[in-house]
Amino acid sequence: MRYADTYIGGVGTYLPRTVVSVEKAVAKGWYPAEDAELHNLAGTVVAGDVPAPEMALHAARSAIKRSGRAPGDLDLLLYASTWHQGPDGWPPHSYLQRHLVGGDVLATEIRQGCNGMFIALELAAGHLAAAPGRQAALLVAADNYGTPLMDRWRMGLGYIGGDAAAALVLTKDRGFARLASVCTTTVAGAEELHRGSEPLFPPGVTVGRRMSFAARNEQFRQQVMPKGEATAALFNIQRALMEIVERVLDESGIEARDLTRVAFMNYSEEIVEQRCMAVVDLPMSRSTWDYGRTIGHCGASDQVLSLDHLLTTGQLGPGDHLLMLGTGPGVTVSGAVLEILETPHWA
């Protein structure tokens, strides 16, 4: 959808200092040597025992400070996550309400997998547009995968789990970038891809079952694909990616060749090239893969981490356009275009 007068006022990130290389992981037996050769990833960031909500708080504080706003100026807080955040039954956004924005800000958590930030953009833009007095929203994503039921090195095919947090301040006042368009669609026929044959009840975490998208994808391949329906579902995911790209580019009034950079999920070189860059018919040099391969797949934070990296390293400037593209369980497919209006002072 196209949004008028919707801007990015600030970006904040939290990346752990600890980086574990693929070479070390292979030597330790954590990561298969054949995967290291096939996917060409460099390593991942590891947060240790730093809780995800604490990382989110750091990123949120940075985004608000960079935006030049005060926490009391916010009208909405959306917290995106893909993995457990703390005690079950406890909402992680309440941690940010207590320590940063206060209790008068409408707040909720978004569990939309790796596309959580795209959904947050759509919801926040609509919320701000719905009433003249609403001016700014804080969007946060954070995850720490270093838990007993998750193996970051074998989480899924073509990626390694990374721990990080990212935040955006969305505003109706002019910011350094304009949200030109954001769109999402769901390929409902591929829902089983991330469920596999795992029972719906009792939930796996309640009985100590380890989470592995790689295992579920393999179950899907062996048990569902022979039925014939799965092949069409997988084809529809790629078609949905193409359609989302067409929609956000059309709503932004640009063509693919006008894109300065493209931020996809932090996946393997082959996946980024085939699923993303081939769709826009642009070379890998315009992707953010070179950066993403060094930090791992950080849940819903990937594209915002790449945005911050491109800004702080001078790879995006006034007049440039960034396409952010991603997929999540469901299967959801999302895209957004940002137009850079000026170089932010903190960059």
Q: Spell out the domain ranges in the chain.
A: 7-175, 180-340
Average pLDDT for residues 130-151, to the nearest whole number? 96
- The helix/strand/coil state of 232 is helix
pLDDT at 258: 97
Q: For 273-330, how does the pLDDT look when each residue is reduced to its tens digit (9 = 90+)?
A: 999 999 999 999 999 999 999 999 999 999 999 999 999 999 999 999 999 999 999 8
Selected residue with higher pLDDT from 162 and 231:
162
The superfamily CATH assigns to domain 7-175 is: Thiolase/Chalcone synthase (3.40.47.10)
- Helices then strands, each counted (H, E), the chain: 11, 11
The whole-angstrom separation of Cα 125 and Cα 109 is 16
Q: If we measure between CA atoms, which residue out of 286, 276, 313, 291 comes closest to residue 45?
A: 291
Contact 7, 173 (CB under 8 A): yes
Mind listing the pLDDT tens digit for each residue in 78-109? 999 999 999 999 999 999 999 999 999 999 99
pLDDT band of residue 213 (cuts 50, 70, 90) is: confident
**Element holding 304 (H helix, E strand):** helix 302-312
**Per-residue tokens: 283:** 């070379």
Q: Give Cβ neighbours of residue 131 (< 8 Å, ≥ 6 apart).
A: none
Q: How confident is the model at residue 2 (pLDDT cuts 50, 70, 90)?
A: confident
* pLDDT class of 261 with cuts at 50, 70, 90: very high
pLDDT over 90 at 216, yes or no: no
Q: Cβ(162)–Cβ(323) under 8 Å?
A: no
Q: Does the fold of domain 180-340 match that of domain 7-175?
A: yes
- Tell me what the mean pLDDT of segment 143-168 comes to: 96
CA dihedral 324, 158, 292, 81 (to 10 degrees): 60
CA-CA distance, 220 to 141, in Å (whole number)? 28
Q: Quick one: pLDDT at residue 232?
A: 75
pTM above 0.85, yes or no: yes
**Average pLDDT in the 208-215 region?**
88
Give the per-residue pLDDT at 234: 77
- What percent of the chain has pLDDT above 90? 86
Q: Given pLDDT bands bounded at 50, 70 and 90, which one contains residue 228?
A: low
Degrees to nearest 5, angle at CA 336 with 319 and 38: 105
Average pLDDT, the chain: 94
**Residue 190: band (very low, low, confident or very high) from pLDDT cuts 50, 70, 90:** confident
Task: Report the percentage of the chain scoring pLDDT > 70.
Answer: 98
User: Does residue 169 surpass a pLDDT of 90?
Assistant: yes
**DSSP code of 77?**
E
Neighbouring residues of 55: CB distance < 8 A, sequence distance ≥ 6: 14, 16, 47, 142, 144, 163, 164, 165
Burial of residue 27 (CB within 10 Å: 0-12, 13-18, 19+) is: exposed
Instruction: Give pLDDT, residue 230.
Output: 62
User: What class is the 180-340 domain?
Assistant: alpha beta
What does the pLDDT look like over 5-33, one tens digit per residue? 899 999 999 999 999 999 999 999 999 99
Do you know the residue count of the chain?
347
Average pLDDT value for residue range 186-192: 90
Q: Is residue 227 predicted with pLDDT exceeding 80? A: no
What pLDDT shows up at residue 192?
Answer: 87
